[in-house]
Chains A and B, each alone.
Chain A
């Protein structure tokens, strides 16, 4: 059983389209992180959310932490080919606990 369900696992869209990636769980997380990984590189941290209902923006990326801290979403507006990569959500259930990863979303943005 996957503790953090990430969807969709694959997404192929055209440049300029919007998209949303979801990360869901039945468990509460004390914090949740989103990473982006390009081929041949390690995951790069995009954002950490810690407060229920929190919304953070990073240029065209909007991250939301659910009110109950059980789910999160990443929304990309007007996707560009440079957004292509593997997006990973990862959460910590208790402060000091292990980082639990979702399955990842492989995003391809075609020009």
Chain B
């Protein structure tokens, strides 16, 4: 498995501002993902963070709104831009395929970032 940390754990932001969330893994991983989870709901995949290239976004999510960086195999950031109250949600990063176990499809999740937009 992998130990994943996220910063910040929670934040309250004003409409129109941006928030950048950091995800740090304690070991090198092949795949990193960003999810959104609205209150009481299941998880929705935002994008796959690709190391050294542009992220792959799911339908309904665009780079201008959710820019993602992944400079190496242990770190990624997600920015939620031009915030509106509808962006209030929990944002989670997850990882898959540690170098110790590269064949598994099992994903491990960070603790999440709870964002409230006023």
Contacts and interface: CB of A to CB of B under 8 A. Distances in A.
Nearest to B105: A92
A104 B105 contact: no
Contacts, number: 53
Interface stretch (B12-20, B37-45, B61-69, B79-87): B37-45
B45 A88 contact: no
A30 B42 contact: no
A104 B45 contact: no
Contacts of A106: 40
A97 B109 CA distance: 17
Interface residues of B, number: 21
Contact of B112 (A41, A90, A103): A41
Contacts of A30: 105
Given A104-B41, A104-B42, A42 B105 contact: no
Contact of B104 (A35, A42, A44, A48): A48
Contacts of B40: 106
B105 A95 contact: yes
